[in-house]
Chains A and B, each alone.
Chain A
Amino acid sequence: MASVKFEVWRGNADGGEMKGYEVDVGPGYVVLDAIHQIQAEQANDMAVRWNCKAGKCGSCSAEVNGSPRLMCMTRVDELPTETPITVEPMRAFPVVKDLVTDVSWNYEVKKSIRKFQPSAPNGPDGTWRMEQYDVERPQEFRKCIECFLCQDVCHVLRDHHLHDRFAGPRHFVYAANMEMNPIDTGDRVAQLRDELGIGYCNITKCCTKVCPEHITITDNAIIPLKERVVDRSYDPLAKLIGMIRGK
């Protein structure tokens, strides 16, 4: 057991401050263990979201020493302990209390995205035949645990607060999963351009770096979607053909 200093943001929508706590850290401790210990022994009412504590549900997102992390997958022994470890709520969303933020905006955006539309089944038994090779591409996007760390780190949301016109990396991953599903017939290209604001992304790849599921968000989801938007909207030949066909 080693005693480690933590500074945790305490407060609500009206304001707050960093408060110091000392925690006896056991072997293999993750930041969420320390937060739980503080909660059990020093601050019963400290608000924190968590569920699985195994990196699978994406509930315990916060900023540890300033970087967006899942608290349950951040080992204390991998952080420098000369200075206190800071734990703060995600910055891209309004604070509810302590480490809990209001992420309801994400649920609204998702609902607005055109839903999955399957083709008619192509198997004789009324189901679909799909090759493993073809499902692997969208399967990468379906690993997303909706922790919203990519949303938190994205400067379009974090610094420029363009929540009203930019859906954020999570929702491009969501759209890409449907666009690349072998049996989907939906078309979200115009929506990505006009409503979801994919053009605001300038591919700094911050989202890819923070993704705890190691989804290659920028290269595999966002860039291919951007290409579809460009092909459809800005390729002069495609545009001409589109005009002739009345699209």
Chain B
Amino acid sequence: MGEHKVVEHDVVVIGAGGAGLRAAIEAASKGASVGLVCKSLLGKAHTVMAEGGVAAALANADERDNWQTHFADTMRGGQYLNAWRMAELHAKEAPDRVRELEAWGALLDRTKDGRMNQRNFGGHKYPRLAHVGDRTGLEMIRTLQDHGIHQGIEVHMEVTVTKLLKDGDRCVGAFAYDRERGRFRVFKSKAVVLATGGIGRAFLVTSNSWEYTGDGHALAYEAGAELVDMEFVQFHPTGMVWPPSVKGILVTEGVRGEGGILKNSEGRRFMFDDIPPLYVDQTADTPEEGWRYVIGDKSARRPPELLTRDHVARKIVREVKEGRGSPHGGVFLDIAWIKEHIKDSEAHIRKKLPSMYHQFKELAGIDITKEQMEVGPTTHYAMGGIRVEPDSQMATTVPGLFAAGECAGGLHGANRLGGNSLSDLLVFGKRAGEFAAKFAAASSPPSIGNDQIDAAAREALAPLERDPGADVGPYRLQFELQQLMQDKVGIARDESELTQAVEEIQKLKARAAKMGAGGSREYNPGWHTTLDLSSLLTVSEAVTIAARERKESRGAHSRVDHLGKDPEWGKYNLVLRKGPDGRMQIRKEPIVPMRPDLQDIIKEQG
């Protein structure tokens, strides 16, 4: 049963999106032998879905921009719960990380003087997102992939990790199966980097692909790592809502960056009705000022459609709840209106937003150059993740385990700004790879007990040995979990529903532990879904428990029974860890006071 192939590397990177690829490239450049493990084919990871751009204070489109402003914007967007050291490193290093992509073949859109162009995005004071139309993520992953394949990295495609392996406290490898034949593979290494992305598949309406089942979060948690900020799940304000088969698919914030406006069924631009105090000074007073901002007038302030995602999502929900929504339960997003200002606006929209044009044309039969879109919130991003040391990205409680990108927590605090995810991948992917290679070079060869491997193999095979007909099957159980999370742990939360959800999750866990999958080990998605369920349930529990604990509304976490921010809660992050009794433990972790020079920056930036 425990039959397996052993693969040895200095560093094993799990996940091959932007963060994983960047980590692998860096570790290899430091002389480490690197294995890159991905659940899908190389180049298909969720990074391809990123649309709007990568945030970096290049100051190409507006010379007033600098790392200090990017830092202050990121902290403000995160409602000051961010790990400020990560926000500092991110703002300082993002420009270099973006520039080096061009040396690897990326071709980003240009300014008139031939430099990388930058566009406006929510929460960013200046136009800051380097981009390629609305397919920036594809450009990034392909650039890293095409560069990475020449760096001596061994890629293990369609291989899924189910357990991290340890030698004492140290993380020294991973147990995995290949999709094609269901054969087991044991990765032995001196350091492991997790770059597995997010948890969106725990919710019914999501912009995330099937892979986003919180594997890295759950693997790390099971291996003794801490999770932080799990209550903060970003609901992107604009996902497609019609037809049902495409519900949740992302509509890039770039639409609003290029001048798109939100309207309710009465045709009112409702975003002007309610501007949060933190942003009053930065927001346009009139539609006319908002438009001037879009076309680059430096004296104008941002239109309210470009407020942070948490705020915009809540306002859309309010419009729908109060009966001013669109026919299919969203609101209207209109980019066609810019014809009032731009000659040949149809060609302009097709050029700036080509994927959006095709997405709506082909999937919804709507021509966005002429008609309004219908949009509503969709689960998009996990701010929370594995708690890491800011500089090295090593997990706080597991030596040898590193995390980068969406599966790591800290950078974004209570809410992530658009564009800060792609820069996060690059900055901290590189750091994780660098420090993992360093750690590996200083480490002795690991020893992995056979008992760990046998136990992992038993666990992986168990679903195939159980009766597949005893319950509703893995897909339906996953659907039940998604429905539960959507209804009770979504945009508007309250104590009683969260408590119910915690109980329901326990019941689903018990059922999942008995779930059988029919068929063989050969490329069997039913079996894979059963195994993924375990990760999904762990992260769902983490989100729900943290959401119940934080009795305030801040950023993406919104409690109808505790409206508004509570300054006391602003002093803590919530940290989760597996207790000695196997149950999830939660604690309030005081935020380390910010370095005085960084405090000064926040004050100066208003």
Contact in complex: A44, B46 (CB < 8 Å): no
User: How far in angstroms is the closest Cβ of chain A from B358?
Assistant: 7
Option from A40, A111, A132, A143 in Cβ contact (under 8 Å) with B475: A40
A131-B114, A142-B139 known; A39 vs B363 contact (CB < 8 Å): no
Q: Mark A95-127, 1 if CB is under 8 A from B, else 0.
A: 011101011100100110001101000010011
A131 touches B110 (CB 8 A): yes
Partner-contacting stretch, out of B100-108, B222-230, B424-432: B100-108
- Contact partner of B362 (CB less than 8 A), chosen from A12, A51, A55, is A55
Given A45-B519, A45-B525, A59-B41, also A181-B249 (CB < 8 A):
no
Q: Does A162 contact B (CB under 8 A)?
A: no
- Chain A residues in 8 Å Cβ range of B475: 39-41, 44
- Shortest C-beta distance, A193 to chain B (Å), equals 22
Does A52 lie at the interface of the complex (its beta carbon under 8 Å from any beta carbon of B)? yes
**Chain A contact residues: helix, strand, loop or mixed:** loop
Q: Mark B290-312, 1 if CB is under 8 A from A, else 0.
A: 00000000000000000000000
Q: Which residues of B contact A138 (CB under 8 A)?
A: 107
Q: Chain B residues with Cβ under 8 A from A116's Cβ? A: 104-105, 146-147
Instruction: Please name all residues of chain B whose beta carbon is closer than 8 Å to the beta carbon of A66 when the two chains form the complex.
Output: none
| 0/1 interface trace, chain B 134-165, chain A, CB 8 Å (1 if under) | 01001100100011011000010100000000
The reply to whether B107 and A142 contact each other, CB–CB distance below 8 Å, is yes
Please indicate the chain A residues that have their CB under 8 angstroms from the CB of B211 in the complex: 51
Query: Shortest CB–CB separation between residue B515 and chain A, in angstroms?
Result: 11
Give A129-146 as 1s and 0s: 1 = Cβ < 8 Å from B's Cβ atoms.
Answer: 111100100110011111
Chain A residues within 8 Å of chain B by Cβ, number = 63
* Interface residues as binary, B510-544 with A (CB distance below 8 Å gives 1, 0 otherwise): 00000001111011111100000000000000000
Contacting pair A96 B42 (CB below 8 A): no
- B523 and A130 contact, CB distance less than 8 A: no
- Residue of A at shortest CB range from B249? A54
The reply to whether the CB of B401 lies closer than 8 angstroms to some CB of chain A is no
CB distance from B110 to the nearest CB of A (A): 4
Question: Chain B residues near A181 (CB, 8 Å)?
Answer: 105, 107
Partner-binding segment picked from B239-247, B453-461, B496-504: B239-247
Residue from the list A52, A98, A178 in contact with B46, Cβ < 8 A: A52
Q: In the complex, what's the smallest C-beta–C-beta distance from A44 to chain B, in angstroms?
A: 3
The interface stretch among A16-24, A27-35, A219-227, A239-247 is: A27-35
User: A181 vs B108: C-alpha distance in the bound complex, in angstroms?
Assistant: 11
Q: Which residue of chain A has its CB nearest to the CB of B50?
A: A56
A49-B132 contact given A26-B245, A115-B150, A129-B114, CB 8 Å threshold: no
Task: Answer whether residue B561 sits at the interface, using C-beta atoms and an 8 A cutoff.
Answer: no
For A59, give its contact among B44, B250, B358 (CB under 8 Å): B44
A47 touches B46 (CB 8 A): no
- Most B-side CB within 10 Å, residue of A26, A56, A183: A56
Q: Considering the chains assembled together, what is the distance between the CA atoms of A73 and B361 in angstroms?
A: 11
A68 to B520 Cα, complex, angstroms: 28
Residues of the A chain whose Cβ atoms lie less than 8 Å from the Cβ of B40: 49, 51, 57, 59
CB <8 Å contact, A115 and B146: yes
**Residues B335-373 near A (CB distance < 8 A):** 355, 358-359, 362-364
Map CB proximity to A onto B246-265 as digits: 1 under 8 Å, 0 otherwise. 10011000000000000000
Asked if B363 and A28 sit within 8 Å, CB to CB, the answer is yes
Tell me the bound Cα distance from A58 to B523 in angstroms.
19
Please determine whether B242 and A28 come into contact, CB atoms closer than 8 angstroms.
yes
Find out whether the CB atom of B109 lies under 8 angstroms from the CB atom of A58.
Answer: no
**Interface residue from A45, A51, A144 paired with B518 (Cβ < 8 Å):** A45
Q: Does B180 sit at the interface, judged by CB under 8 A?
A: yes
Q: Which of B114-148 contact A (CB under 8 A)?
A: 114-117, 132, 135, 138-139, 142, 146-147
B468 at interface, CB cutoff 8 A: yes
- Asked whether A142 and B527 contact (CB < 8 A) given A57-B49, A73-B362, A118-B103, the answer is no
B243 contacts A27, C-beta separation under 8 Å: yes
Residue A205 CB within 8 A of the other chain: no
Q: Which residues of chain A come closer than 8 Å to B518, judged between CB atoms?
A: 44-45
What is the CA–CA distance of A42 and B245 in the complex, to the nearest angstrom? Answer: 19
By beta carbon, the residue of chain A nearest B112 is: A132
Q: Which chain B residues (456-482) contact chain A, with CB distance < 8 Å?
A: 468, 473-476, 479
| Contacting pair A56 B115 (CB below 8 A) | no
Of all chain B residues, the one with the shortest Cβ separation from A182 is: B107
Using A130-B114, A139-B132 as known contacts, say yes or no to A111 and B138 having CB atoms under 8 A apart: no
0/1 interface trace, chain B 13-38, chain A, CB 8 Å (1 if under): 00000000000000000000000000
Contacts of A131 in B (CB 8 A): 110, 114
Which of A49, A75, A178 neighbours the largest number of chain B CB atoms within 10 Å of its CB? A49
In the complex, the answer to whether B107 meets A56 with C-beta atoms within 8 Å is no
- Residues of A contacting B364 with CB < 8 Å? 28
A48 interface contact, C-beta 8 A: yes
Q: Does residue A4 face the partner (Cβ distance < 8 Å to B)? A: no
Q: How far is the CA of A152 from the CA of B261 in the complex (A)?
A: 42
Within 8 A of B (CB), among A130-184: 130-132, 135, 138-139, 142-146, 174, 177-178, 181, 183-184
Q: A27-B243, A96-B523 are in contact. Are A110 and B468 (CB under 8 A)?
A: no
Q: CB-CB < 8 A to B362: which residues of A?
A: 55, 73, 75
CB neighbours of B517 from chain A (8 A): 44-45
B43 within 8 A of A: yes
CB contact between B49 and one of A50, A54, A177 (< 8 Å): that residue: A54
Residue of B whose beta carbon sits closest to that of A74: B362
Nearest CB in chain B: distance from A211 CB, A: 12
In angstroms, Cα B45 to Cα A132, docked, is 28
Tell me which residues across on chain B come within 8 A of A28, comparing CB atoms.
242-246, 363-364
Is there an interface contact between A56 and B363, defined as CB atoms closer than 8 Å?
Answer: no
Q: Could you say which of A118, A127, A184 contacts B115, with CB atoms under 8 Å apart?
A: A127
**Nearest CB of B to A28, in Å:** 2
A48 touches B110 (CB 8 A): no
Are B102's CB and A128's CB within 8 A? yes
The answer on a CB contact under 8 Å between B359 and A55 is: yes
Provide the bound-state CA to CA distance between A185 and B606, in Å: 47
Asked if B473 and A53 sit within 8 Å, CB to CB, the answer is no
Decide: A26 near B243, CB < 8 A? Known: A100-B523, A135-B109.
yes
Q: Does B113 contact A (CB under 8 A)?
A: yes
Tell me whether B268 is interfacial, beta carbon within 8 Å. Answer: no
**Residues of A contacting B132 in the complex (Cβ-Cβ under 8 angstroms):** 139, 142
Q: How far is the CA of A50 from the CA of B110 in the complex (A)?
A: 33
Closest B residue to A34 using CB positions: B245
Residues of B within 8 A of A30 (CB): 245, 363
> Is A46 part of the binding interface, using a Cβ–Cβ cutoff of 8 Å?
yes
List 9 extra interface pairs beyond A44-B526, A52-B48, A116-B146, CB under 8 A.
Answer: A45-B517, A51-B45, A54-B49, A104-B157, A118-B103, A127-B99, A135-B108, A144-B142, A145-B48
13 A-B contacts (beta carbon < 8 Å): A41-B475, A45-B524, A46-B525, A51-B40, A51-B46, A56-B48, A75-B363, A107-B155, A110-B146, A118-B103, A130-B107, A144-B142, A181-B105
B-binding residues in A (CB < 8 A): 12, 26-30, 33, 39-41, 44-59, 73, 75, 96-98, 100, 102-104, 107, 110-111, 115-116, 118, 123, 126-132, 135, 138-139, 142-146, 174, 177-178, 181, 183-184
